[in-house]
Amino acid sequence: MSRVMPRYALKIEYDGAPFAGWQRQSGLPTVQGALEVALAALEEGVPSVAAAGRTDAGVHATGQVAQCDMARDWDPFRLSEALNWHLKPAPVAVVACARVADDWHARFSAIERRYTYRVICRRAPLVHQRGQAWHLRHHLDVAAMQAGAAHLVGRHDFTTFRAALCQAASPVKSLDEITIAESATPNGREIAFCLRARSFLHNQVRSIVGTLERVGAGAWAPEDVAHALAACDRAACGPVAPPDGLFLTGVGYPFDVFG
Delimit the CATH 3.30.70.660 region(s) of the chain.
112-250
HSE toward the beta carbon, residue 222, CA cutoff 13 A: 13
User: What pLDDT does residue 134 have?
Assistant: 97
User: What pLDDT does residue 187 have?
Assistant: 76
Q: Which amino acid is at 108?
A: F
Determine whether 102 is an active site residue: no
Average pLDDT over residues 138-165: 96
Q: Which of 15, 56, 141, 224 is catalytic?
A: 56
| CATH architecture entry for 7-109 | 2-Layer Sandwich (3.30)
User: What pLDDT does residue 59 have?
Assistant: 97
The answer, yes or no, to whether residue 37 has pLDDT greater than 60, is: yes
Distances (CA, A) of 255 to 41, 94, 109, 194, 244: 31, 20, 10, 22, 31
pTM: 0.95
Helices (H), 43-181: 76-87, 142-149
Q: 70 CB contacts (<8 Å, ≥6 apart)?
A: 5, 6, 7, 8, 39, 42, 43, 46, 79
Helices (H), the chain: 31-42, 76-87, 142-149, 204-216, 222-231
Please state which of the ranges 119-123, 132-136, 164-168, 246-250 shows the lowest mean pLDDT.
164-168
User: What pLDDT does residue 3 have?
Assistant: 56
Average pLDDT over residues 62-71: 97
Residue from 76, 63, 66, 84 nearest 24 by CA: 66
The answer, yes or no, to whether residue 259 has pLDDT greater than 50, is: yes
Q: Which CATH class is domain 112-250?
A: alpha beta
d(CA 168, CA 197): 15
The answer, yes or no, to whether residue 77 has pLDDT greater than 90, is: yes
Angle (CA) 154-59-68 rounded to 5° is 90
The answer, yes or no, to whether residue 2 has pLDDT greater than 80, is: no
Delimit the CATH 3.30.70.580 region(s) of the chain.
7-109
